[in-house]
Amino acid sequence: MNTALPKLPVPDMVWLAIPVAILVYALLLYDARRTNSPAAGDDQLGIKTVAATLVIVGTWVLAEGLRGFLMVILTFDDFWDKLKAALPSLLVGALVVVSAGFVLFSRTNAAQYPKAKRLAAGVVALYWGIALVPALVGLLDALFDWPSWRVVATALVAVVQAGVLFMVALAVLGRLSGVKMPDKMTGSGMARPSGMGQPLGGVVQPVPPQGYAGAPAPGYAAPQPPSGWPQG
């Protein structure tokens, strides 16, 4: 009787994560060793490399679960069986991302040296941003041909999966990089309020309202009140 434990499957993403971890560590080490680098005092490169790699791997697992979950919602094929198949990846991926991104990173000096966080968010944003392009092409092809709803739903799921992860990662990367959204109340295209003239020399000159007691223009004759009108 064979009592040996079954061999655990090793996803390809784990092996792909190894060069990603090496690349992240190499970039962090290079940045810390640069002359006059602001990260010269960073002595937690290893633990932050582990956290960044876990975020990337967790995002890949989360993406697989999200894809399966969306397919169940859109097609309802074998609902409970496919839902139970999608939930483990969805839950484990989310748990890994939250644990590494919010718990493990918070125990390090990532607030002072956030480059590892930016690298993790950048890798995720780049990967899913690239994946979004062929996904959009596939969706348009499916819509034009429309072989079946299942084929269209599969293409739609690929777009939603890549689009959501790309936008979230890009938003995180922008926040960590100090990128701010433009203020809607500023900008050269903002409409001026009524009563404001065109700028002269870069300064907006107010237009005097009607009845303003200023110097009249040459040749200007003030209207005379009708007879019997009380004088102010």
pTM (2 d.p.): 0.71
- Distances in Å between the Cα of 38 and the Cα atoms of 34, 42, 43, 45 are 9, 9, 12, 14
Predicted confidence (pLDDT) per residue in 190-228, tens digit: 444 444 445 544 555 555 555 545 555 555 555 565 555
| Helical (H) or strand (E) element with 39 | none
| pLDDT at position 99 over 60 | yes
Mean pLDDT computed over 77-81: 84
| pLDDT at position 25 over 70 | yes
Task: Find, among 118, 115, 107, 126, the residue nearest to 172 by Cα.
Answer: 118
Report residue 111 as tokens: 């607030």
The length of the chain is 232
| pLDDT at position 135 over 80 | yes
Alpha-carbon radius of gyration of the chain: 31
Q: Give the model's pLDDT for residue 221.
A: 56
| pLDDT at position 34 over 50 | yes
Q: Give the model's pLDDT for residue 179.
A: 87
| pLDDT at position 142 over 70 | yes
